[in-house]
Amino acid sequence: MTAIPDKIQAWQMIRPWSKDKETGTAIPGELARVDIPVPELAEGDVLVEVAGCGVCHTDLGYFYDGVNTVSEPPLALGHEISGTVIAGKQEAIGKNVIIPAVLPCNDCPICAIGRGNRCLTQKMPGNSMGVQGGFSSHIVVPFQDLCVIDDLKGKSLSHYSVVADAVTTPYQAAVRASLTEGDRVIIIGCSGGVGIYMTQVAAALGAGTIIGIELGAEKLERALNLGANFGIDSTGKTPRDIQDEFRDICKSNRLPHNYGWKIFEVTGSGAGQAIALQLLSFVGKLMVVGFGLQKNEYSISRLMAFDAEMIGTWGCLPKYYPKVLDLVQSGKIQIDSLIEARPMSTIEKAFEDAHSGKLKRRIILESDF
């Protein structure tokens, strides 16, 4: 049995990047390795030894872009976590688990109506669990909503950390969109850190047509290899240009261009959102999956005229995690070829590389304390 540590070792965000109020000069953020006390385990809690934690765009937003965490720094970031239970509920000890990125209270009106992924008192590692986050040696969480991995199926336990957010968030978006077999789908950002899984989820759920929109032919090729049927390179194009190209694809393939499309905006960028709004049409749905701080103008009356829907989607209900795990283990959703494992001690370089936007794979940081 793994020994319970005296302390938890963690990489904390001591302070995020900021600007000097007088000069506007950038003040670099700081990450530091620290030891923290092991939190007391309440009834139902378990202590998980972290195997891996994914570097998410949200983590970069906290560190570089001034997005506030609920718990003020210093705290460990990281919410894409897999690991092994080493203490707590006796029947849970030794189990390999995925920790959902958002943990609902399961005891409020929002949870009662099945929308616990947006529970107002939910806990999110690396954001609203005090100093606790995934870029640590261990973390204390409630066991009830953890996703148990009974068989690793030959994969590294650390690799399953990507399921905690990057794979399950698209699945929740598909559920909110009522995505069913034969649906016509547009994915904006179809090959990004979350978008490549949105593409695979749509294909796995039986979408009839998937049109991916991405910056660059290389990125599009990856999406086409993993489920997209057609691709549009948005490089240097206006939303109207892309709409024209979309209509050409529809015409050539005898698809309607002006009704019934389910659009998933995954980039969180102003440009991506502008494309989505341009393509939204009659009885369509626009799912807002990506996060960004920018604003876009849109005539709300168009929603009325189109009888269309614009829906935000956040995280994923823990009850869906086993279904997503099945899709991964059955090979319908690929993860290993899309991630790059690095030691957690290289976190500073990993953040820099991920923030550069040049990486082709999502970084998973493996615990090496």
* 165 vs 313: CA distance, rounded Å: 13
Give the pLDDT means over successive 10-residue stretches in the chain (369 positions): 87 95 92 96 96 96 95 98 96 97 97 97 97 98 97 98 98 98 98 96 98 96 98 98 98 98 96 98 97 90 97 97 98 97 98 93 97
Crossing angle (nearest 10°) for helices 168-176 and 321-329: 120
Amino acid at 126: G
**Co-location of 301 and 336 in the same domain:** no
CATH of the domain at 213: 3.40.50.720
**Co-location of 47 and 126 in the same domain:** yes
**Co-location of 158 and 172 in the same domain:** no
Give the distance, in angstroms, between the CA of residue 62 and the centroid of all CA atoms in the same chain: 14
Residue 16 pLDDT: 96
CATH of the domain at 357: 3.90.180.10
Residue 2 placed within a domain: no
Boundaries of domain holding 328: 7-165+316-366
Q: Which residues fall within 8 angstroms of residue 307, CB to CB, at 6 or more apart?
A: 282, 283
**Co-location of 29 and 106 in the same domain:** yes
Residue 232 placed within a domain: yes
**Co-location of 13 and 159 in the same domain:** yes
pLDDT in tens, 335-364: 999 999 999 999 999 999 999 988 989 999
Long-range contacts of 202-207 (CB under 8 A, 24+ apart): 202/170, 202/174, 202/227, 202/264, 203/227, 203/228, 203/332, 204/327, 204/332, 204/333, 205/174, 205/179, 205/180, 205/181, 206/180, 206/181, 206/182, 207/179, 207/181, 207/182, 207/183
Residue 1 pLDDT: 57
Residue 4 pLDDT: 87
* 243 vs 262: CA distance, rounded Å: 15
Q: How many domains does the chain have?
A: 2
Residue 1 placed within a domain: no
